[in-house]
Amino acid sequence: MFLNINILSFMLGFFFANILSTIPAQTGEWNIMSGSIIVSINEIISKKIYKNEIIKKPYIVQLFNNIKIGIIYGLFVDAFKLGS
């Protein structure tokens, strides 16, 4: 059961990456800004989660990590699509 939820959260992050990279890029001027904002938010969330040495709910943290990994993976896939 946990594997299904982990895969689902990873795919949810991948879906968010597709949404976040295509909507602001319609004008063609926001590609670099949207990418930097997404990565900055990702790093801020990581800093807030891992700042506490005692993590009370490790399963929720794992789900957030899967979503973040899916977002980064989705951005890489979009970059490869644009580069080819």
Please state which of the ranges 2-6, 24-28, 45-49 shows the lowest mean pLDDT: 24-28
What pLDDT, on a 0 to 100 scale, did the predictor assign at position 42? 85
Q: Assess whether pLDDT exceeds 80 at residue 6.
A: yes
Dump pLDDT digits (tens) for 28-82: 666 677 778 888 888 888 888 778 766 667 788 888 888 888 988 888 888 787 7
Measured CA distances, 14 to 24, 56, 72 (Å): 16, 26, 8
Name the residue range of residue 49's domain: 2-83
**Which residue stretches of the chain are H helix?**
2-22, 31-51, 58-83
Instruction: Count up the domains in the chain and report the number.
Output: 1
Query: In angstroms, rounded to a whole number, what is the distance separating the alpha carbons of residues 8 and 21?
Result: 20
Higher pLDDT, 2 or 13: 13
